[in-house]
Amino acid sequence: MDLCDRFSVDGQKTLLVTGIEDIYTDEEVEQVFSVNGNISRVVRISDEENGVRGRVLIEYSTDSAITKIDPIVLGKIPSPNDPNVAWHVRTVRGIYEEEVGRRLAKRYLDELEAVAGNSRAGFLKALQDELQGSRGTEYTSPTTSNAPSVTATPMSVPHVSSAPSPSFQASSVPIDEGIVNPPHLQKVIVEHVIRSESAPLHSSSHPRLRTFSGRIPRPNGEVDYETWRTQVDLLISDPYLTNNQKVRKILESLLTPATDVVKPLGIDSLPSAYIAQLESAFGVVEDGEDLFAAFLNCSQNNGEKPSVYLTRLHTLLTKAISRGGASLNDASKLLLRQFCRGCWDQSLITSLQLELKKDHPPFFLTCSSC
């Protein structure tokens, strides 16, 4: 936008406020709008003849302040010292989206006119067909948590002469202003095109993987291999990411010596190749049968709470299932039976009647993370 270029502000994190009187200092204006976030700059725009007066640009430190701003703040708010005076608040990116919407709507009409041909009658007939197709459906604008709504400005429609032409009879296709220029159709066109052209890529919304290096002892801020592998499994199952994007995220999460293990593979390898290489270096070395045997031999330690013991059993069983040592369908039964066998608190088992539930374990014991 012109304002962004003239005053070197970021439109993604800037508000445009008009109607601010000269009696207010920059500090007072900043105090009013600092509730949304930390403000980095307050820029006053000189008044122009026959133009809007009292214009101020308020730039925040981050665009998150604009994203989470209360919609009530946008629009008209009363001046702090004079409630009869209104300040008009808008986001700069909202103004830009309206400008884009008007251009797109005009382009849509130009394309429709080109399809209809040079005849005005043909254009009106094609336009009426589009409008009549949408009149029977009431449009409700969908809401999203992270995208601002776009309000379309009514488009101007050329004056339609009532005189009939040789190729078109006005009485056969009645046109009135309410049908030619319905606000809901403008909203459909603008919001649909803007969302389809400016929607962020899905890959940017996927959380960043925690860092893993494979060093012992594990440095602060890093996770162990099992935790890192769980995050990678979620990444691999994401259908919206390409293999190159998955490989890039895996490499971004690795540090030496883990990066040295996968370095020979190159960036053209599949994500599964990276997982297999890291699994051979940092995964558990026991096979499924050994892990399942360790699960069956696990008992509650002295002073260990039953809940902690159950969590430890669940971890052992998860590893055994991942290595093929046990069936996922039997996870709940195996977990409950071993808990009853290895828990020292018999009063807890009796009060909860766990012995009677071995064949039909509670749902919360299902090994959902396996």
Tens digit of pLDDT for each residue in 153-205? 443 334 444 444 444 444 444 555 555 556 666 666 776 666 555 444 454 55
Selection from 21-25, 128-132, 139-143, 197-201 with the highest mean pLDDT: 21-25
Residue 212 above 90 pLDDT? Answer: yes
- Domains in the chain, please, with CATH? 2-93 (3.30.70.330), 96-157+167-198 (no CATH), 205-282 (no CATH), 288-365 (no CATH)
Q: What is the pLDDT of residue 205?
A: 59
Instruction: Judge whether 317 and 367 are in contact, CB under 8 Å.
Output: yes
Structure confidence by residue, pLDDT tens digits, 286-315: 678 888 898 899 999 998 999 998 888 888
Question: How many other CB atoms sit within 10 Å of the CB of residue 225?
Answer: 19
The most distant pair of C-alpha atoms in the chain lies apart, rounded to whole Å, by 100
Residue 88 CB-density burial (10 A; 0-12 exposed, 13-18 middle, 19+ buried): middle
Q: For tokens 């190729």, what's the residue? A: 167
In angstroms, the CA 134 to CA 314 distance is 56
User: What average pLDDT does the structure give for the chain?
Assistant: 75
Residue 367 above 50 pLDDT? Answer: no
Residue 284 above 70 pLDDT? Answer: no
Give the pLDDT band of residue 133 (cuts 50, 70, 90): low
Instruction: Judge whether 335 and 317 are in contact, CB under 8 Å.
Output: yes
Selection from 80-89, 112-121, 211-220, 358-367 with the highest mean pLDDT: 211-220
- What's the whole-model pTM score? 0.36
Residue 44 CB-density burial (10 A; 0-12 exposed, 13-18 middle, 19+ buried): middle
More confident residue, 222 or 163: 222
Helix (H), strand (E), coil (C) string for the chain? CHHHHHHCCCHHHEEEEECCCCCCCHHHHHHHHHHHCCEEEEEEECCCCCCCCCEEEEEECCCHHHHCCCHHHCEEEECCCCCCCEEEEEEHHHHHHHHHHHHHHHHHHHHHHHHHCCCHHHHHHHHHHHHHHHHCCCCCCCCCCCCCCCCCCCCCCCCCCCCCECCECCCCCCCCHHHHCCHHHHHHHHHHHHHHHHCCCHHHHCCCCCCECCCCCCCCCCCCHHHHHHHHHHHHCCCCCCHHHHHHHHHHCECCCHHHHHHHHCCCCCHHHHHHHHHHHHCCCCCHHHHHHHHHCCCCCCCCCHHHHHHHHHHHHHHHHHCCCCCHHHHHHHHHHHHHHHCCCHHHHHHCCHHHHCCCCCHHHCCCCC
In the chain, the percentage of residues whose pLDDT exceeds 90 is 11
Instruction: Judge whether 22 and 56 are in contact, CB under 8 Å.
Output: no
